[in-house]
């Protein structure tokens, strides 16, 4: 609705074991910037699904 590019990147689990996400929002027409920031976070903090 805001016409701003956004991405949700998995970043861990809550204390109850539910997934949590990091939301990255950029200025209008900055889709590439949001994607680069998302990729940089994923590379710095890889999310692994825990074994059940």
Please list the pLDDT of the chain residue by residue as tens digits (52 residues).
888 999 999 999 999 989 999 999 999 999 999 999 999 999 999 988 777 6
26: three-class secondary structure by DSSP: coil
* Whole-number pLDDT of residue 7: 97
* Whole-number pLDDT of residue 51: 74
Q: Any idea what the Cα angle at residue 39 is, between residues 34 and 40, rounded to 5°? A: 100
Domain membership flag for residue 14: yes
What's the domain count of the chain? 1
* Whole-number pLDDT of residue 52: 67
Domain membership flag for residue 13: yes
Domain membership flag for residue 51: no
What is the domain range of residue 33? 6-44
* Whole-number pLDDT of residue 17: 87
CA atoms within 13 A on the CB side of 11: 13
The Cα–Cα gap between 4 and 50 comes to 32
* Whole-number pLDDT of residue 29: 95
């Amino acid at each position: 609705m805001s016409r701003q590019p956004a991405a949700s990147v998995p970043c861990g689990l809550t204390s109850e074991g539910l997934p949590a996400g990091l939301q990255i929002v950029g200025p209008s027409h900055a889709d590439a910037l949001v994607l680069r920031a998302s990729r940089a976070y994923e590379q710095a903090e890889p999310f692994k699904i825990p074994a059940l």
